[in-house]
Amino acid sequence: MNKNEAREQKSLFIDLSDRSSDNNISHSIAELKNSGNTQVNLEVKASTDQVTIKLLVDIDLFKRIKEIQDLPDWVIVKLIMDGGKLKDSSFKERITNG
């Protein structure tokens, strides 16, 4: 596929612990091939819950921010992880001309 060609992106969410997902993968690959696609880019991403638990992020806080702000998950995790770090950093003075 030429990088300059615009292509419709499709997503397929698969639970790797569910054996019936094998059929979904096979069916989706066949559909893509039959519609003329010749290449597939597969991205593997961890679920939000897995990432927040791994980073010891408060899941309830994460979900509340997600509901209110509708930000991408990575932005919320970064916001929570960085929370309070600017308090004693003279950040306010640096951005407001003293």
**Helix and strand element counts for the chain (H, E):** 5, 0
The pair of three-digit structure tokens given for residue 80, joined into one six-digit string: 């929570």
Q: Give the C-alpha separation, 58 to 76, whole Å.
A: 11
Query: What local confidence, expressed as pLDDT, does residue 52 receive?
Result: 61
Query: What local confidence, expressed as pLDDT, does residue 78 receive?
Result: 80
- Give pLDDT < 50 ranges for the chain: 1
End-to-end C-alpha distance for the chain, whole angstroms: 53
The pair of three-digit structure tokens given for residue 59, joined into one six-digit string: 């899941």
Query: What local confidence, expressed as pLDDT, does residue 11 receive?
Result: 73
